[in-house]
Amino acid sequence: MSKKNIQKKKAEIKKKLKKSILDLDVKDRRKLQAIAVKYDAKKGGAPRIIATGKGVIAEEILKLAEENNIPMYEDESLAALLSKLDLDSEVPPELYAVVAEVLAFVYQLDKMARKRSKIRQKFARVKG
């Protein structure tokens, strides 16, 4: 994949990442759907479905994500596919590439946020 294509893909993912429930493009909350995916690098294997819900339950999943600073990724078609999976099941190989791209990008964001936090702490000590 060329550097230009990688940058384009990152831009697409960034556009779909949401920080708040209010940022979501949902007109009818009853049709809201949320799926929580977890990947544990220490355990290996594929990412797992840890929560799924529609309507009020989806809102609760999203509120928990927001409260815990977990990025939300808005993709209606991916949510529809993942919602068909059982809880605690692994993401199927056919969806690895899409889910891996999102998780990798989120990982990079987390890494940058930790760096920024350390820098702010150093500056706070210098000022204080």
Segments forming the whole domain that contains residue 67: 3-127
- What's the pLDDT at 27? 66
Residues 6+ apart with CB under 8 A from 63: 21
Question: Considering its fold, how many domains does the chain have in total?
Answer: 1
Which of 33, 32, 46 has the alpha carbon at shortest distance from 88?
Answer: 46
Place of tokens 């556009």: 15
The CATH number for 8's domain is 3.40.1690.10
Amino acid residing at 56: V
- Give how far Cα 77 sits from Cα of 16, 50, 59, 115, Å: 12, 18, 18, 33
Q: Using 50, 70 and 90 to split pLDDT, how confident is the model at 97?
A: confident
Q: Using 50, 70 and 90 to split pLDDT, how confident is the model at 90?
A: very high
